[in-house]
């Protein structure tokens, strides 16, 4: 289905113009096709922002009408100024009113977030979906995922094709080949591989797994992997701010997918204080992917979403990564585990496009069977 046709059907779906049969068919399409679901979430977010902008414009228009009426009744006087002075005057006069309108919009947004969290509290976890992707081996996309050849050193050796049943995302926390992902991504995998954005895959192993925190540390154990001396990002040790703009990278399909949104609540599903709630598109395969703020700091790890609310996604707070590293070191009986969390600031000050280009090399598809 073409994107324009999808958006046309989405608008009919949101406005209630679909028949019950069409509605059921469209919902099934969203569940079966991550691309369609992502378009639906992004377009719903776009329509929501348009509604907010319209409400603000209407509020400002109402303020002007009230002023004009008061002026006509002689209760206030309007200064006769022109040009640049008029623009400056109007801004100074109404900026507080505009700020009030923006605050009202923000309060509405916070209340809406509270409603979503409250709904999760009353409904339990039945709407919570982990974002690991169960691969259908008959799907043609698997042919793109499995790269039967990769350049190894200078000999271009052909590698054995891995058997893949599950797909998630992970990212480097140490250039020597240590990655973090969700525990639910790898806990059923007997064999683990990671694949970079160039299509090269490497054998890996789960060296520590914490089911309670839903986090795991992987180590690339492949001679073909070339270590990085530094990573261009850092991991945030404190909580991020409500409303902070963020982006994610992950593998809901066989190539890296970008999404953007904002932090909508400081707690996750069912009031979980160790997680955030985000307003952002995400689909199965995004589990374990990084959540990055505008300063190039990782603030969280994508883990799941609410199936009953468009664009409501949950992410484990990044400070849990430090606990994970310490626990992994304590559990290492050989005392040889040396993981140094990244402290780079190479993404700070870059445009979003530049940040994404630099981040792509350090985000991996996690696959296995």
In the block, tokens 């790890």 appear at: 301
User: H or E segment at 138?
Assistant: none
Specify whether the CB–CB gap between 321 and 338 falls below 8 A: no
Specify whether the CB–CB gap between 290 and 248 falls below 8 A: yes
Specify whether the CB–CB gap between 124 and 329 falls below 8 A: no
Q: Calculate the alpha carbon distances from 221 to 225, 262, 276 in Å.
A: 8, 36, 32
Q: pLDDT for 325-346, tens place per residue?
A: 999 999 998 888 999 999 999 9
Specify whether the CB–CB gap between 186 and 288 falls below 8 A: no
Where residue 24 falls among pLDDT bands split at 50, 70, 90?
confident
Specify whether the CB–CB gap between 106 and 243 falls below 8 A: yes
Q: Looking at the domain covering 128-369, what would its CATH class be?
A: mainly beta
Residue 87: both structure tokens together: 């623009």
For residue 65, count other CB atoms closer than 10 A to its CB: 10
Specify whether the CB–CB gap between 281 and 42 falls below 8 A: yes
Asked if the model's pLDDT at residue 208 lies above 70, the reply is yes
Specify whether the CB–CB gap between 44 and 14 falls below 8 A: yes
Lowest-pLDDT range of 111-120, 145-154, 171-180: 111-120
Specify whether the CB–CB gap between 168 and 366 falls below 8 A: yes
DSSP 76-133: S------HHHHHHHHHHHHHHHHHHHHHHHHHHHHHHHHHHHHHHHHHTTTTEEE--E
- For residues 41 and 202, the model is more confident at 202
- For residues 179 and 46, the model is more confident at 179
Specify whether the CB–CB gap between 242 and 265 falls below 8 A: yes
Which SS3 state, helix, strand or coil, does residue 167 take? strand
Percent of the chain with pLDDT over 90: 49
Q: pLDDT for 271-318, tens place per residue?
A: 899 999 999 999 999 999 999 999 999 999 999 999 888 889 999 999
The backbone torsions φ and ψ at residue 74, rounded to the nearest 5 degrees and listed phi first, read: 80, 10
Q: pTM of this prediction?
A: 0.63
Residue 44: both structure tokens together: 């719903």
Q: Calculate the alpha carbon distances from 294 to 117, 167, 241, 273 in Å.
A: 26, 27, 12, 23
Residue spans per domain, the chain: 3-123, 128-369
Q: pLDDT for 151-199, tens place per residue?
A: 444 444 445 667 778 899 999 999 999 999 999 999 989 999 999 999 9
């Amino acid at each position: 289905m073409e994107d324009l046709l999808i958006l046309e059907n989405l608008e009919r779906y949101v406005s209630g113009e679909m028949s019950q049969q069409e509605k059921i068919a469209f919902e099934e399409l969203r569940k079966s096709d991550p691309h369609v679901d992502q378009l639906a979430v992004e377009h719903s977010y776009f329509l929501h922002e348009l509604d907010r902008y319209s409400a603000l414009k209407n509020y400002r228009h109402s303020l002007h009408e009230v002023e004009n009426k008061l002026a006509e009744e002689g209760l206030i006087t309007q200064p006769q100024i022109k040009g640049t002075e008029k623009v400056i005057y109007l801004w100074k006069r109404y900026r507080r009113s505009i700020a009030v309108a923006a605050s009202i919009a923000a309060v509405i947004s916070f209340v809406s977030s509270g409603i979503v969290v409250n709904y999760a509290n009353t409904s339990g976890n039945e709407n919570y979906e982990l974002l690991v992707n169960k691969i259908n081996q008959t799907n043609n996309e698997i042919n793109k995922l499995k790269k039967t050849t990769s350049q190894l050193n200078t000999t271009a050796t052909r590698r054995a094709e891995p058997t893949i049943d599950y797909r998630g995302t992970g990212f480097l926390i140490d250039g020597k080949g240590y990655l973090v992902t969700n525990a639910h991504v790898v806990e059923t995998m007997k064999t683990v591989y990671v694949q970079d954005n160039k299509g090269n895959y490497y054998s890996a192993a789960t060296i520590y797994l914490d089911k309670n925190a839903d986090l795991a540390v992987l180590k690339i154990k492949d001679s073909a992997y070339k270590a990085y001396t530094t990573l261009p990002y850092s991991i945030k040790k404190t909580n991020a701010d409500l409303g902070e703009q963020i982006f994610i990278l992950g593998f809901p399909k066989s190539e890296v997918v970008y999404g953007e949104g904002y932090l909508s609540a400081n707690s996750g599903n069912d009031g979980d204080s160790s997680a955030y709630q985000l307003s952002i598109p995400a689909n199965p395969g995004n589990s374990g992917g990084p959540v990055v703020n505008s300063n190039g700091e990782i603030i969280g790890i994508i883990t799941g979403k609410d199936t009953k609310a468009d664009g409501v996604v949950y992410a484990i707070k990044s400070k849990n990564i430090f606990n994970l590293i310490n626990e992994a070191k304590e559990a290492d009986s050989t005392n040889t585990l040396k993981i140094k969390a990244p402290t780079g600031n190479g993404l700070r000050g870059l445009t979003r496009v530049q940040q994404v280009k630099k981040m792509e090399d350090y985000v991996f598809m996690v696959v296995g069977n």
